[in-house]
Amino acid sequence: MREVGIIGAGLTRFKEHWDSSLRDLFVEAALKAIDDAETPEIDSMYVGCMSSGLFVGQEHIGPLLADYLGLKNVPTVRVESACASGALALRLGFMEIASGMSDIVLVSGVEKMTDCDDPTSALAAAADIENEAFFGATFPALYALIARAHMDRYGTTREQLAAVSVKNHKNGAKNPDAQFQREVSLETVLNSFMVADPLTLLQCSPITDGAAAIILVPLDMVKKMKDRVVKITGSGVASDTIALHSRKDITSLEAVRLAGERAYKMAGRKPEDIDVCEVHDCFSIAELIVVEELGFVEKGNSGRFIEEGNTEIGGRIPVNTSGGLKAKGHPVGASGIAQVIEIYKQLIGNAEERQVKNARIGMAQNMGGTGASSVVHIMEVAE
């Protein structure tokens, strides 16, 4: 297998884009990535999108977006794994270059969520429709069950949950592409509207429009064109039961652990090697459990871990320097690509006020539903 590197990246600002359509958002992000890569040639294109069908009534977006980007005739693939669609698109593009089938691949993610009357119901299509959503379960409710169980078993507190949002808003305030660029206090998070106890409004990621794109090429090509070279060294994917009630232990996210293990194994790395990490904080509790599953802290101890500042910029393992899904926003199909872009920026030393010092190895973890699918990538600065 050939080594694969990142040669360009671009994203739209994440926010409610009332004047842009799905295709507009994609084209903006893709053109930025093409400009950044300084190569107009694209051999093949992947787009991760959870549900353009339910959000805007449009399927078949592979050729549609290629056409609007001016890439008519290029092979295109649309990939869906709910909120993990973006990272899965990246993995497939990685594989296409690693296999030698193509040289220059655009991998992207997009979601236009605000044109839909009822995005919460559309999002529920990522749960088990027949056995969860039909009976009224929505994602805030399902993650609240997980949070309750974690509090009960490990003594995780409401304050520790809320601390995730405080940290991520602090980081988001330094990110010009974030939906919410302002800090919030612990009190504000705790006193915000209760969505599903213990999850308050400020512990739930928002409805967002946005797109993100990356251009992947063989590593040799990046070395010729860029000073600071980043390669993808690990890619892991795993699945779990789609329904939360089918799991042995709802305080664990098995697909995250397995995807992490597979990525670590492929890269030949351990948790201690990771300098910076983006994780899928769709709800505050998700970040806590993911940090445990990826091996950064022992099972059950994530609450104390974040409270002690370990996951802040400057801490032992900075998590969600971008602001995470909470503050940066969560256009579901785009989030997995945007996470990788944040890590890429950190590794090339281009993360501005959010820069983690001496970041040389980074990780991005994306997941769908209540963790029925998860994708983990490890990226490293190449010599």
Q: How far is the CB of 183 from a second copy (least distance, A)?
A: 34
Could you give the residue numbers annotated as active site?
A: 83, 330
Among 56, 142, 282, 289, binds a second copy (CB under 8 A): 56
192 touches a second copy by CB under 8 A = no
Burial label for 99, CB within 10 Å (0-12, 13-18, 19+), is: exposed
Of 177 and 209, CB closest to a second copy = 209
**Would you give the binding string for a second copy spanning residues 237-266, x where CB under 8 A is met?**
xxxxxx---x-------xx--x--------
Map residues 307-346 to x or -, x wherever contact with a second copy holds by CB under 8 A.
Answer: ----------------------------------------
Nearer of residues 74 and 104 to a second copy, judged by Cβ: 74
Rounded-to-integer distance, Cα 306 and Cα 297, Å: 10
Q: Which two tokens stand for residue 311?
A: 């996951």
Cβ closest to a second copy, residue 28 vs residue 342: 28
Is the Cβ–Cβ distance between 110 and 334 less than 8 Å? Answer: yes
With binding defined as CB under 8 A, does residue 63 bind a second copy?
Answer: yes
Closest CA to 339 of 31, 109, 37: 109
Least Å from the CB of residue 85 to a second copy: 9
Q: How far is CA 188 from CA 15, 163, 170, 309, in A?
A: 21, 11, 13, 19
Q: Which is nearer to a second copy, 21 or 39 (CB)?
A: 21
Q: Using CB under 8 A, which residues numbered 90 to 149 contact a second copy? A: 92, 95-96, 98-101, 122, 125-130, 133
Q: Which of 60, 245, 265, 357 binds a second copy (CB under 8 A)?
A: 60
DSSP 95-160: HHHHTTS-S-EEEEEEEE-TTSS-HHHHHHTTS-TTTTGGGT--HHHHHHHHHHHHHHHH---HHH
Nearer to a second copy, 248 or 270 (CB): 248
> Using CA atoms, how far apart are residues 209 and 17, in angstroms rounded to an integer?
6
Phi, psi at 256, each rounded to 5°? -70, -45
157 touches a second copy (CB under 8 A): no
Neighbour tally for 118: CB within 10 Å: 9
Residue 101's identity, in one-letter code, is M
Out of 7, 25, 33, 64, the only residue in the binding site for a second copy (CB under 8 A) is 64
Which amino acid makes up residue 366?
Answer: N
209 binds a second copy (CB under 8 A): no
Question: Which residues of the shown chain bind a second copy in the complex (CB under 8 A)?
Answer: 1, 21, 50-51, 53-54, 56-64, 66-67, 71-82, 88, 92, 95-96, 98-101, 122, 125-130, 133, 237-242, 246, 254-255, 258, 368-369, 372-373
